[in-house]
Amino acid sequence: MTGAEKPQNGGKKMDRRDLEALYSTHAPRLLSLCLRYCGNVADAEDVLHDGFIKIIRNIDTFTDRGAGSFEGWMKRIMVNTALNYIRDNSKSRKLFEPEPAFERLVIVEEEDGYFESLAERIDPKVVMDLILELPHGYRTVFNLYVFESYSHKEIASALNCSENTSKSQLSKARHWLRTRVSEFMIKQEAAK
């Protein structure tokens, strides 16, 4: 087993070494995915654990459709597990909280290729931190739309909200992130 592929024999003959190989290969990337949804590492690790157990349990139902299909299948399971986690937690707190006040609103005129140029000057860890700072509802919709390529209709169905709510949450998430990115760059320029 190479780790990136589905384990042989439907996972029934996996031993500890195979499990470790599978976990080592895929866990870091999948934990990053879980972290984007959960907002903190502890919850993300819980979701990762549950998701991986589901993967092991249902690995014999996976149908190989070529390169990358196993990883895509695992990602889908993780996303669904994360959404279940969000739904469970939304019983105690509302997913779409009241809009935060934009006290530090900074409007930056974006030139063409602005974000492409940022890619060389900003660390991915900072980008992840920016996403983690997003309000809960913004982050969920942004993740589903941008990273999982969900449509607004699918997001509305998954989060039990209207399509307009999804659209507005995405718009506000983008606005929030633009502001934060601009702030970060202004601070970085000032530090120089």
Residue ranges in contact with another protein by CB under 8 A: 11-16, 19-20, 23, 27-29, 31-32, 35-36, 41, 44-45, 48-49, 52-53, 56-57, 60, 91, 94, 110, 114-116, 118-119, 122, 124-125, 127-128, 131, 142, 145-147, 149, 151, 160, 174, 177-178, 181
CA 119 to chain centre: 19
Distance CA(149)–CA(146), nearest Å, equals 5
- Closest distance of CB 30 from another protein, Å: 9
- Closest distance of CB 101 from another protein, Å: 21
| C-beta closer to another protein: residue 23 or 69 | 23
| C-beta closer to another protein: residue 5 or 154 | 154
CB-side exposure of 63: number of CA atoms within 13 Å?
1
Beta carbons of 53 and 8 less than 8 angstroms apart: no
- Closest distance of CB 151 from another protein, Å: 5
DSSP 8-state assignment for residue 66: S
Instruction: Collect all residues with Cβ–Cβ distance below 8 Å to 144 and sequence separation of at least 6.
Output: 79, 150, 154, 155, 158, 159
- Closest distance of CB 8 from another protein, Å: 13
